[in-house]
């Protein structure tokens, strides 16, 4: 496996997958993206629990904002994500 394990929130480096998710959120022309849109942008049908955990880690690190917004589904809401424009991150050594 070429994935580097997720490091503690005090680490300044991100895994390759976390970096990919952050870049998708930074480069997309839509200001906020839901999980389905993010999954589609990285070539998946849906985000895995690992992807969702990485998005939460990015929020903990101050790189991404997460909000819930109402929608017409039976659940009644969806999670949306947005990269903070001022966020700067160091890439992992394996990237």
**Strands of the sheet with 33-34, listed across from one edge:** 33-34, 77-83, 64-70
Residue ranges per structural domain of the chain: 13-86
Residue range 10-37, pLDDT digits in tens: 445 899 999 999 999 998 677 899 999 9
Q: What is the pLDDT of residue 1?
A: 41
Assess contact for 13 and 92: CB atoms under 8 A.
yes
Q: What is the bridge-based pairing of β-strands 90-91 and 13-14?
A: parallel
Question: What architecture is domain 13-86?
Answer: Orthogonal Bundle (1.10)
Residue 95 has pLDDT above 90, yes or no: no
Residue range 37-88, pLDDT digits in tens: 999 999 999 999 999 999 999 999 999 999 999 999 999 999 999 998 765 5
């Amino acid at each position: 496996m070429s994935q580097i394990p997720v490091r503690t929130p005090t680490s300044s480096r991100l895994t390759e997958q976390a970096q990919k998710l952050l870049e998708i959120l930074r480069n997309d022309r839509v200001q906020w993206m839901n999980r389905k849109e993010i999954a589609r942008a990285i070539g998946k049908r849906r985000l895995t629990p690992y992807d969702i955990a990485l998005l939460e880690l990015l929020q903990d690190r101050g790189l991404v904002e997460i909000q819930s917004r109402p929608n017409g589904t039976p659940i009644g809401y969806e999670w949306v994500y947005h990269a903070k424009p001022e966020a700067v991150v160091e890439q992992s050594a394996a990237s």
